[in-house]
Structure 1
Amino acid sequence: MARRAPPQNSVPGLFGASPPRRTIHDPNESALSRFIREEIFAPEKVSGNISIITGVAVFAAGVFSARTWGDILVPA
């Protein structure tokens, strides 16, 4: 079966055509607020941030449950 050529000016199927990113240049913005804006609240990084929050929550729940009910797990 022959492969057909993709249409002209098309992007590969795995990469979507992202819109141009809007940049904000505020000379009075601190490094912390710039980091929060670019790394925490950026729409393209939401899925990674949710994964990190989920991992931390599962870890904290495991520590809490081990400290609360750990004596049940160890035979006397």
Structure 2
Amino acid sequence: MARRSAPPNAGPAYYGAPTQRRQLNDPNETAVSRFLREEVWAPDKLPGNINILTGVAVFLGGIFAMRNWGDMIVTI
């Protein structure tokens, strides 16, 4: 049976790690704006941040609903 392999000089058959884009550091940028740019609005971290925001919103919405309409749930 013939061996099936990649053609010669095809390179690796896997994808390497994504290359890091170097951003210029602005000397006038504050620590808060650098944190927001690198941790909150970064495209690779945005899905996780949206999940955290959704969880916090559901939690606070549940507290709000129980404080306003919780007496309708409890029957004495």
TM-score, normalising length: structure 2: 0.74
Larger radius of gyration: 2
Identity fraction in percent: 51
RMSD (CA atoms): 2.3
Structure with higher helix content:
1
Runs ≥4 in structure 1, deviation > 3 angstroms? 4-8
Equivalent position of 1:67 in the other structure: 67
Partner of 1:54: 54
Amino acid at match of 2:12: N
| Alignment TM-score, normalising by the size of structure 1 | 0.74
- The one-character-per-residue Cα deviations of 1:2-60 (angstroms, maximum 9, x if unpaired) are xx778743436xxx642432322111111000000001110000110110110011001
Aligned length: 70
Gap runs ≥5 in structure 2: none
